[in-house]
Amino acid sequence: MRAARLIKMVLLLQSRPMMTAAELAAELEVSERTVTRDAQALSEAGIPVYADRGRAGGYRLVGGYRTRLTGLGRSEAEALFLSGLPGALREMGLQDAASAARLKVSAALLPSLRDASSSVAQRFHLDAPGWYQEPVTPELLPAVAEAVWGDLVVQARYARRPDRAAERRLEPYGLVLKGGIWYVCARAEPGGFRVYRLDRFTAVTVTSAHFTRDETFDLPGFWASRAAEFARSILRTETELRISPTGVPGLLRVMDAAVTREALAAAGPPDAQGWVRITLPVESVEVALGQLLCLGPEVEVLAPKDLRSAVAEAARGLGRLYG
């Protein structure tokens, strides 16, 4: 809709000193000619959009013009409040700032939309930690969050193992909360981007040195790539399994879903009972034993021999226990 596009154009110009027609066209997904017509329409409506001509020219708002958030619809306002993570903000020491920001946004909304924050809070709640886990907030999280927001270099002591710690000079780019565990994505000096568990930092000093952020760094994309690499890197043992049709959904729940789907896709046709034979990478015999026992009689281990023997012994133990 043109009205929504005009509002977005005003907000874009409000957030930047100047934008070229090409930049606006790319953001709005229209032609530069459409940008020109939209700018003229805004000017005729009383919004002070000014066009600077020439190679270094572009569009800008004059006179310190600011628009109120009266263009927001109910669904947009509710989505805005839904994007906050109260628990995570509290752990990073940003609860007060977030509360003040929500109040300011509420004050700028139309009266009919000011209940958006409460209506969302009554309908949605994010509980990040997994079941049966007691979430623990790392003591050093607020300091690292401060460095992330301020693009400040940190001097940290990181212990990958309790008996082995090392000094790290890091440029912290972003924080990730995964399954109740906090991680920081940082560029090491020297070295590239890496992921560190915050609960393994034993000391953090936020320096006054600023680092220049790589504007091409994509935190969600980087995390997704590293998470996938990590999940595959720990799968060092290969198993041969027979799985029943009933057991397939359970296998997808207890094993790495992406790797399991690949194994199922590469499997041959089912046998007469509908069971399929797959080759599946697992972390270790010990880990796989606990995972496969969850499936009971819906899976048969064919190889390796030590895993098959371990499952058989567990089955015999259950038989003795239950008679």
Instruction: Give per-residue pLDDT as tens, 85-120.
Output: 666 667 777 666 666 666 666 666 666 666 766 666
Per-residue pLDDT for 309 more than 90?
Answer: yes
In angstroms, how far is CA 319 from the centroid of its own chain? 44
Q: Which residue has the higher pLDDT, 153 or 77?
A: 153
Give me the pLDDT at residue 97, please. Answer: 67
SS3 173: strand
Give me the pLDDT at residue 313, please. Answer: 96
Q: Residue 272: how many CA atoms within 13 Å on its side-chain side?
A: 0
Q: How confident is the model at residue 137 (pLDDT cuts 50, 70, 90)?
A: confident
Mean pLDDT across the chain: 85
Give me the pLDDT at residue 50, please. Answer: 87
Average pLDDT rounded to a whole number, residues 60-83: 68
Average pLDDT rounded to a whole number, residues 189-208: 89
SS3 212: coil
Q: How confident is the model at residue 292 (pLDDT cuts 50, 70, 90)?
A: very high
Give me the pLDDT at residue 154, please. Answer: 96
d(CA 294, CA 300): 12
Per-residue pLDDT for 160 more than 90?
Answer: no
Give me the pLDDT at residue 203, please. Answer: 94
Per-residue pLDDT for 227 more than 70?
Answer: yes
In angstroms, how far is CA 261 from the centroid of its own chain? 22
Give me the pLDDT at residue 106, please. Answer: 67
Average pLDDT rounded to a whole number, residues 13-35: 88
Q: Which residue has the higher pLDDT, 137 or 201?
A: 201
d(CA 84, CA 62): 32
In angstroms, how far is CA 108 from the centroid of its own chain? 29
Q: Which residue has the higher pLDDT, 227 or 103?
A: 227
CB 176 within 8 A of CB 183: yes
Percent of the chain scoring above 70 in pLDDT: 80
